[in-house]
Amino acid sequence: MQHGIRRLAALATVFAVAFAAVYLIRNGTEGLSHLLGNRAQSSGPSYRPEPFTLPDQAPLDLGDVDLLARLDAEYAKLTEAVVPSVVSIDTAGVRSERLIDGFGHQRFRSVPTQGQGSGVIVSHEGHVVTNHHVVSGQKQIQVTLHDGKVFPAKLIGEDRLLDIAVLKIESDGGKFQPLKFGDSSQVRRGQLVFAIGNPFGLGETITQGIISAVERSLSDTQRDLFQTDAAINPGNSGGPLVNLQGEIIGINSAIYTPDRANPGFQGVGFSIPADDVKDTLFSILSRGSPVRGYLGVRMFEGGVVVGVGSGSPAELAGLKVNDVILAYDGEQIRDTTQLINLVQRTKIGRQVQLRVWRDGAEIPLEAIVAESPGESAEIPMPPQGKTRDTQAILNAIGLEVRDLSRNERMRGFTGVVATATSPLGLARKDLRPGDLIVSVNESRVANAAEFYLYLSASAAVQTTTLHLFRQGQPMAIHLPVLPREEAPAPENWENPPGE
Residue 228 clears pLDDT 70, i.e. is over it: yes
Catalytic residue, candidates 90, 159, 163, 275 = 163
In 205-328, DSSP assigns E strands to 205-216, 225-228, 240-242, 248-255, 269-273, 293-294, 297-300, 304-308, 324-328
> What is the rounded distance in angstroms from the CA atom of residue 167 to the CA atom of residue 382?
40
Distance, first Cα to last Cα, the chain: 103
> What is the rounded distance in angstroms from the CA atom of residue 181 to the CA atom of residue 26?
82
How large is the average pLDDT for residues 276-290? 88
> What is the rounded distance in angstroms from the CA atom of residue 426 to the CA atom of residue 465?
13
pLDDT band at 491 (very low <50, low <70, confident <90, very high): very low
Residue 221 clears pLDDT 50, i.e. is over it: no
Cβ atoms within 10 A of the Cβ of 48, count? 5
CB of 276 closer than 8 Å to CB of 223: yes
pLDDT of residue 29: 55
3-class SS string, 195-233: EEECHHHCCCEEEEEEEEEEEECCCCCCCCEEEECCCCC
Question: For residue 478, what are the β-bridge partners?
Answer: 465
Question: For residue 413, what are the β-bridge partners?
Answer: none
pLDDT band at 499 (very low <50, low <70, confident <90, very high): very low
- The model's pLDDT over 305-325, given as tens digits with 9 standing for 90+, comes to 878 888 889 989 999 887 888
pLDDT band at 495 (very low <50, low <70, confident <90, very high): very low
Q: Give how far the C-alpha of residue 201 lies from the chain's centroid of Cα atoms, to the nearest Å.
A: 14
Tell me the domain boundaries of the chain: 1-36, 85-288, 293-371, 390-479
Residue 236 clears pLDDT 70, i.e. is over it: yes
- The model's pLDDT over 354-387, given as tens digits with 9 standing for 90+, comes to 999 887 788 999 999 988 775 545 555 444 444 4
Q: Can you tell me whether residue 383 is helix, strand or coil? A: coil
CB of 232 closer than 8 Å to CB of 348: no
Domain 390-479 has CATH 2.40.160.20: no
Q: What is the pTM of this model?
A: 0.59
Asked whether the CA dihedral 443, 418, 272, 289 is positive or negative, the reply is: positive
User: Which residue type, as a one-letter code, is found at position 331?
Assistant: E
pLDDT of residue 498: 33
Residue 164 clears pLDDT 50, i.e. is over it: yes
Backbone angles phi, psi at 439, to 5 degrees: -160, 155
Residue 121 clears pLDDT 60, i.e. is over it: yes
Q: Give how far the C-alpha of residue 39 lies from the chain's centroid of Cα atoms, to the nearest Å.
A: 69
Active site residue 237: yes
Q: 136 or 83: which carries more pLDDT confidence? A: 83
Q: Is 461 exposed, middle or buried (0-12, 13-18, 19+ CB in 10 A)?
A: middle
CB of 157 closer than 8 Å to CB of 291: no
How large is the average pLDDT for residues 345-353? 88
> What is the rounded distance in angstroms from the CA atom of residue 130 to the CA atom of residue 246?
17
DSSP string over 135-169? HTTEEEEEEE-TTS-EEEEEEEEEETTTTEEEEEE
CA distances, 311 to each of 88, 319, 349, 397 (Å):
47, 12, 15, 36
Asked whether the CA dihedral 34, 38, 43, 44 is positive or negative, the reply is: negative
> What is the rounded distance in angstroms from the CA atom of residue 27 to the CA atom of residue 346?
93
Question: For residue 272, what are the β-bridge partners?
Answer: 251
Active site residue 467: no
- The model's pLDDT over 181-199, given as tens digits with 9 standing for 90+, comes to 999 989 999 999 999 988 7
pLDDT of residue 489: 40
Per residue in 192-220, is it b (16+ CB within 10 Å) or e — as a string?
Answer: ebbbbbbbeeeebbbbebebbebebebbb
Backbone angles phi, psi at 104, to 5 degrees: 85, 5
pLDDT band at 389 (very low <50, low <70, confident <90, very high): low
CB of 201 closer than 8 Å to CB of 410: yes
Cβ atoms within 10 A of the Cβ of 55, count? 6
- The model's pLDDT over 447-483, given as tens digits with 9 standing for 90+, comes to 888 888 788 777 766 778 899 999 888 888 888 877 5
Q: 263 or 135: which carries more pLDDT confidence? A: 135
CATH homologous superfamily for 293-371? PDZ domain (2.30.42.10)
Catalytic residue, candidates 127, 132, 133, 467 = 133
Q: From 2.60.40.10, 2.40.10.120, 1.10.1060.10, 1.20.1090.10, which CATH number describes the 85-288 domain? A: 2.40.10.120
Active site residue 171: no
Catalytic residue, candidates 88, 237, 456, 458 = 237
User: Are 293-371 and 390-479 in the same CATH fold?
Assistant: yes
Residue 136 clears pLDDT 90, i.e. is over it: no
Q: 292 or 337: which carries more pLDDT confidence? A: 292
Q: 145 or 235: which carries more pLDDT confidence? A: 145
pLDDT of residue 255: 73
Round the average pLDDT of the chain to a whole number and report it: 79
